[in-house]
Structure 1
Amino acid sequence: MDDADSLASVAEVLADPYARAILAAASEERVDAATLAERLDADPSTVYRRLERLEAHGLVTSRVQPRSDGHHYQVYRTRLRRVTVDLEDGEYRVSVEREEPTDPADRLTDLFEEIR
């Protein structure tokens, strides 16, 4: 278990109601931060902070989405599938099950992130 999957770390992230709402919304479809802010009735800076934290823990993934006008923006998708906490021999063990990307662009992004 790495630091991102420690009981305290996972519990702290999932204790935040905005983080949970983002995970739920982004589990249905790829969604941009502005749409999330609107759906959650939250300040965009709040959403961006939560997205950064969720992404740092590997619970969401992002991708650049080009627009027809030449600009681009980030869209987010939930990777979290399951969190399991076991108590065995006086120790907590946390396992975080993440969705493995099937889209070639997502796999390439994950590979690049591992290299950095």
Structure 2
Amino acid sequence: MDEKRPIEEVLDTIGDQHAREVLAAVSQSPKSAKQLSEELELSLPTVYRRLEILEEHELVSDQTSVAEDGNHYKVYESNFESTVIRLEDDEYQVRIYRSENLPDRFSQLWDDLNLE
């Protein structure tokens, strides 16, 4: 997540009921916007707006899937494991914990050490 992004934007995003519903649904399993629309009984434009906001805050990610008939579509999934919101010295702090592949995390750590 972009550390320079105002915390209020993240809190507003997770404070939105439809965004939370979309996030909860894709946390269970990857889903297309159409599946989310049907499952949550939300209009497709509403789902797409929430997905766009969630992607901006790196809370969901998408990947292209190919149907049996050859059509391509995106499926969305949660991009984090948990979130902690703390109030300390009259200031909110948000920490987003992501599940990463251990070898990928080690490679990133190694790259970071070599850059210094």
Structure whose CA Rg is larger: 2
* C-alpha spacing 1:70/1:47, structure 2 compared with 1 (3 Å): same
Alignment root-mean-square deviation, CA = 1.9
| Higher RCO, Cα 8 Å, sep 6+ | 1
For residues 54-73 of structure 1, the aligned pairs below 5 Å read 54-73=54-73
**Which position in structure 2 is the counterpart of 1:20?**
20
| Identity across matched positions, percent | 38
Query: Normalising by structure 1, what TM-score?
Result: 0.77
**Which position in structure 1 is the counterpart of 2:4?**
3
For residues 1-116 of structure 1, the aligned pairs below 5 Å read 2-4=3-5, 6-100=6-100
- Number of residue pairs the alignment of both structures matches: 101
* Stretches (4+) displaced over 6 A: none
**Counterparts of 2:90 and 2:98 in 1: how far apart (Å)?**
26
The C-alpha deviation readout for 1:5-29, integer Å capped at 9, x for no partner, is x421211001111110111111111
